[in-house]
């Protein structure tokens, strides 16, 4: 049984500027001492959002105008650095359901897709246009149309791109490989039953 297809993501958005934002900035390593990913959202961009003493400092994610945003917008090569799965998990558990950027690091992109969190790329000038619109109207609703590769906001729209493989699994509801494995369990058990060395054990 496939999961719910992801055809659109709609919500308010927040722009976190910068290129080459790596996974250690997204979730500092000292917060990765956890058995599960629960609670990681609390530490999203922690060092950028806090002073060394732990007090909040100016940052888009600390701006009350963007509280509750569910779409993250950023620059080029987002999610680079180490391959830690904790980075997309922290973004997801902070309430975000999609990321728009100029480009993504490969492993971050794959880990995000397996969470059902679309990563869509857009050209730099178009992202700046979206960022300006968000600054002027923080309550602006943004919609990512997965099938059409389109990002709509207000009366405007910009072209985006989701890689074909990711688009296929999102639209078909097969974005979680663990669920696919569970769905295939009857076939696994049938194959196991035909293997003599498995029966003997």
Q: What is the pLDDT along the chain (201 residues), one digit of tens a residue?
A: 578 999 999 999 999 999 999 999 999 988 887 767 888 899 999 999 999 999 999 999 999 999 999 999 999 999 999 888 999 999 999 999 999 999 999 999 999 999 999 999 999 999 999 999 999 999 999 999 999 999 999 999 999 999 999 999 999 999 887 786 777 777 877 788 888 887 665
Kindly list the domain boundaries of the chain, sorted by start residue: 8-173
Say if CB 146 and CB 118 are below 8 A apart.
yes
Q: Could you give the 3-state DSSP secondary structure of residue 41?
A: helix
pLDDT of residue 33: 77
pLDDT of residue 74: 98
pLDDT of residue 186: 79
* Whether pTM exceeds 0.75: yes
Alpha-carbon distance of 175 to 179, in angstroms, equals 8
pLDDT of residue 37: 83
**According to the CATH classification, is domain 8-173 in 3.20.19.10?**
yes
pLDDT of residue 35: 67
Alpha-carbon distance of 102 to 123, in angstroms, equals 6
Alpha-carbon distance of 24 to 153, in angstroms, equals 30
Which tokens belong to 67?
């509280």
Torsion of CA 34, 22, 153, 68, to 10 degrees: 30
Q: Which residues contact 148 (CB under 8 A, 6 or more apart)?
A: none
Nearest C-alpha neighbor of 78 from the set 108, 54, 48: 108
pLDDT of residue 93: 96
Backbone φ and ψ for 11, nearest 5 degrees, come out as 175, 180
């Amino acid at each position: 049984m496939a999961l719910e297809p992801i055809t659109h993501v709609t919500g308010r958005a927040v722009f976190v500027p910068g290129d080459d934002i790596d996974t250690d900035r997204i979730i500092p390593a000292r917060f990765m001492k956890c058995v599960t990913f629960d609670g990681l959202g609390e530490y999203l961009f922690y060092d950028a959002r806090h002073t060394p003493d732990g007090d909040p400092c100016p940052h888009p994610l600390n701006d009350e105008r963007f509280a509750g945003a569910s779409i993250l917008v950023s620059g080029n090569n987002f999610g680079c650095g180490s391959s830690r799965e904790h980075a997309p998990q922290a973004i997801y558990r902070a309430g975000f359901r999609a990321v728009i950027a100029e480009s993504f690091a490969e492993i971050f992109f794959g880990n995000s897709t397996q969470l059902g969190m679309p990563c869509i790329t857009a050209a730099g000038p178009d992202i700046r246009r979206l960022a300006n619109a968000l600054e002027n109207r923080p309550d602006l609703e943004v919609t990512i149309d997965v099938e059409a590769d389109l990002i709509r906001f207000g009366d405007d729209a910009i072209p985006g791109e989701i890689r074909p493989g990711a688009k296929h699994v999102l639209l078909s509801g097969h974005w979680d490989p663990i669920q696919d494995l569970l769905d295939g369990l009857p076939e696994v058990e049938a194959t196991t039953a035909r293997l003599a060395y498995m029966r003997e054990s």
